[in-house]
């Protein structure tokens, strides 16, 4: 469009003109199988879910799903969801589990990463040891904690050594304890993930800056708050997003340990969906609720993916430089000032 001379590589304008339609076509061929698979697995189910969501359909009385229109009730499922105590309880429980687990895993993982950042003999082996919980099939970790949390089980046994008397906590059958049991299992399994991500960030911290701060007299705490945390910020953010996203979907270990019980004490959204269909047989209502949650999530997801996408195009060093908004020299000065004030 412009009258600029056709110098090589003058940005997007040139690319758009030169043979782009052809490379567009090739690109389209490459992504076609993926798009077909996505359509198959998303489009059809989405249409069915919208349709069934307007009905009170259940397979229990033998009607096929295409005759669900016989039980048509428009938005009743949606209005029921908004006023359903059980749905909101499940939602807030999911949020609670997500926040507690993500924060606990983040803190524990960061502390462990700080402990292991300095090299020592056998560090590689110690690292492998700490990564193991992450490799356990989640349903199996549910089974492991089901064993551990028995009334006569080893966790009460260990507590009996520490606390006077015979500890007989009903970990999984006491409604107020069960949710903690479920969260402990998740924290055990996924702290290693946080640890691994943070460690990869900590070892990549620019050594010259850390050394400079130390030599110029900044103690551990100012170094930590003024240097390490700002530079680690983008990495912290990505780790938290990824972990929160997974905890939100949590199902397997919870289902194995408590099936959402006792009562509804550990019923998060995933368990709620499962129980609606496979226990209560309320497929129509389940579709309506699922759609509501998916719509809400897709708004959140859009924001959550951005930092991940941005990071994909950057190296670790760029990531860290972007996290701290000051120049390295200012940061070091800051750390020293903070030390002097303390």
Partner 1 sequence: MKTALRAGAIAIYGAVFGFPLYWVITMAFKPKVEENPPGITVWYPHAPTLKNFKDVLGISDPGASIFAQQDFSALTPLKNSFLAAGGGTLLALVVGVFAAYGIARFRAGGSQLPFQILQLRMFPPAAVVIPLYFMFVYLHLWNTLEGLIIIYGAVTFPFVVWLMRSFFQDVPREISEAAIVDGCTQWGAFFKAVLPMVKGGLAATALFVFILNWSDYLIVLVMTQDKWTTAPLFLSTMSGGAGGQEYAHQAALAVLLILPPAILGLSIQKYLVRGLTFGAIKR
Cβ–Cβ < 8 Å for 269, 97: no
313 φ/ψ angles, rounded to the nearest 5 degrees: -90, 5
DSSP-derived 3-state class of residue 115: helix
Cβ closest to partner 1, residue 42 vs residue 340: 42
Q: Is the Cβ of residue 218 or residue 247 nearer to partner 1 in the bound state?
A: 247
Quote the least distance from Cβ 340 to partner 1, whole Å.
23
Shorter beta-carbon distance to partner 1: residue 99 or 301: 301
Q: Could you tell me which residues are beta bridge partners of residue 72?
A: 55
Distance from C-alpha of 42 to C-alpha of 23, rounded to nearest angstrom:
27
Query: What are the helix (H) ranges across the chain?
Result: 12-17, 20-38, 44-53, 76-83, 85-116, 123-135, 138-148, 154-162, 175-202, 207-215, 220-222, 229-248, 252-257, 269-274, 283-312, 316-323, 328-341
Distance CA 341, CA 336 (A): 9
Q: Minimum Å distance from CB 272 to partner 1?
A: 8
Residue 306 or 327 with smaller CB distance to partner 1: 306
Distance between CA 54 and CA 164 in Å, rounded? Answer: 58
User: Would you say 159 and 272 are in contact if contact means Cβ atoms under 8 Å apart?
Assistant: no
User: Nearer to partner 1 by C-beta: 304 or 338?
Assistant: 304
Least distance (Å) between residue 40 CB and partner 1: 7
Q: Are 209 and 328 in contact (CB under 8 A)?
A: yes
Tokens describing residue 131: 């990564």
Q: CA–CA separation, 313 vs 178, rounded Å?
A: 42
From the CB of 29, what's the least distance to partner 1, in Å?
7
Indicate the residue among 103 and 297 with the shorter CB distance to partner 1.
297
Q: Closer CB to partner 1, residue 90 or residue 179?
A: 90
Closer CB to partner 1, 183 or 334, in the complex? 183
Alpha-carbon span 230 to 234, nearest angstrom:
8
CB of 17 to partner 1, least distance (A): 16
Least Å distance between CB 174 and partner 1?
19
**Residue closer to partner 1 (CB basis): 222 or 284:** 284
**Closest CB 157 distance from partner 1, rounded Å:** 4
The answer to whether the beta carbons of residues 238 and 316 sit under 8 Å apart is: no
Mention every residue, 6+ apart, whose C-beta is less than 8 A from residue 258: 172, 178, 181, 182, 265, 266
Q: What is the nearest approach in angstroms of partner 1 to the Cβ of residue 337?
A: 25
Residue 143 CB, nearest approach to partner 1 (Å): 6
């Amino acid at each position: 469009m412009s009258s600029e001379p056709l110098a090589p590589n003058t940005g997007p304008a040139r690319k758009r003109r030169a043979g782009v339609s052809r490379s567009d076509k090739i690109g389209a061929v490459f992504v076609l199988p993926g798009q077909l698979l996505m359509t198959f697995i998303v489009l059809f189910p989405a249409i069915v879910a919208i349709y069934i969501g307007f009905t009170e359909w259940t397979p229990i009385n033998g009607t096929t799903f295409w005759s669900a229109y016989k039980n048509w009730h428009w938005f009743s499922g949606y209005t029921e969801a908004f006023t359903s105590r059980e749905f909101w309880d499940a939602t807030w429980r999911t949020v609670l589990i997500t926040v507690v687990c993500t924060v606990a895993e983040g803190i524990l993982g960061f502390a462990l990463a700080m402990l292991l950042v300095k090299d020592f003999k056998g560090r590689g082996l110690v690292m492998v040891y700490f990564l193991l919980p992450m490799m356990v099939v989640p349903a199996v970790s549910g089974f492991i904690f089901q064993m551990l949390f028995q009334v006569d089980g080893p966790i009460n046994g260990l507590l009996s050594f520490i606390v006077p008397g015979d500890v007989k906590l009903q970990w999984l059958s006491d409604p107020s304890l069960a949710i903690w049991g479920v969260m402990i299992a998740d924290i055990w399994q996924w702290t290693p993930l946080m640890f691994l991500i943070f460690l990869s960030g900590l070892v990549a911290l620019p050594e010259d800056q850390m050394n400079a701060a130390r030599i110029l007299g900044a103690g551990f705490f100012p170094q930590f708050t003024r240097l390490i945390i700002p530079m680690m910020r983008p990495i912290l953010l990505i780790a938290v997003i990824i972990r929160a996203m997974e905890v939100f979907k949590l199902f397997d270990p919870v289902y194995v340990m408590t099936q959402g019980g006792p009562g509804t004490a550990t019923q998060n959204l995933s368990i709620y969906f499962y129980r609606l269909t496979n226990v209560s047989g309320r497929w129509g209502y389940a579709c309506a609720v699922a759609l509501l949650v998916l719509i809400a999530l897709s708004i959140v997801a859009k924001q959550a993916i951005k930092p991940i996408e941005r990071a994909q195009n950057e190296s670790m060093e760029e990531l860290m430089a972007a996290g701290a908004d000051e120049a390295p020299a200012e940061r070091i000065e800051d750390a020293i000032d903070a030390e002097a004030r303390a």
